[in-house]
Structure 1
Amino acid sequence: MRSVNFSLIALVVVLIGSAAAADALPKHSAAVVLRYPGTAPLRSADAQQLKAKALEILRSSNFNSAAPRWEWDEATSNLEYGAAVSGRHLLVTFADPTIIETTGGKVVVKEIIIGLNTAQYASSLHTIDDKGRVVAHAKYSGTLCVELVDMVKALPRESAAPRLQR
């Protein structure tokens, strides 16, 4: 009987420890990738700042094609998405689909893609939902888009490769 009690106590301790460990994991854990020529690999702090800015931009979105208030041109949205991912962009990929409250309502997000194909501001905002669909966004904060590009330009630059001496 004593071994059964000990086993139950051990199981309870393990379960409590597992719950505490799960609570210690960062909420909305995500991978951040920046495709922008000349920037050095992202440091953890820089990745977190870019993720935070991407979330700010997304939250400022007034409209999206997942809950349209007008007829969205899907072909144009897909072309804009393609231009973003084939060029300079910021990609935030969440470990699990995440519900984000935007000005225009809640969206389910697996990825945030922000195009950086202009010199002064972020050029487009798209998300990928839990079913893999591209969702276009409209009327989001221009000020935040400028701040994002300024953040990217301020990141450490790659150093030139050393030249061989002859």
Structure 2
Amino acid sequence: MALKKRQPARKSEVNGENPKEILEINRFGGVLIEAANRAEATALLIRSKYRVYRPEVDYDGEDMVVRTPSGKLIGVQLKSRVIVDDKKYGGRKLWMLFPSAPYHQNKPRDWYLIPHDQLLPRVEQSHGHLATWNKRWSAPVSKDMRAFLSPWRLADRT
């Protein structure tokens, strides 16, 4: 059986990838990032002795329902960064699950699982004085925030 010779790359290809395909991935970047984050977080939760259930519908802010190692069921909102929103999540016993940084290949990141209503006062302490503060905030995990979040870091227990 004769092997087929690889056709030379078309001028429209960049590093072997079609720019149209790259554009398509970027267009759906948020959806793909959310799916990848969900998969990564779910794997870590399972390795950390949690059980993870995914509702058929993201209803009332619950992206996941998680049974903790102690047996408690909690509603979890998955985010790609620190987010507090008192109107959306306050007073509802929701937990926030988010990574320490955006994904970069070969660069591990920490994940945090914390009750929204315990995170909100800490964020307000840092940002409540700003004119844009409206009991809502979204930001990457800062060094100060990382220190505060350390007790809420998920640890792989395998």
TM-score normalised to the size of structure 2? 0.31
Normalized per residue, the structure richer in helix is 1
Higher strand fraction (1 or 2): 1
Higher radius of gyration, 1 or 2:
1
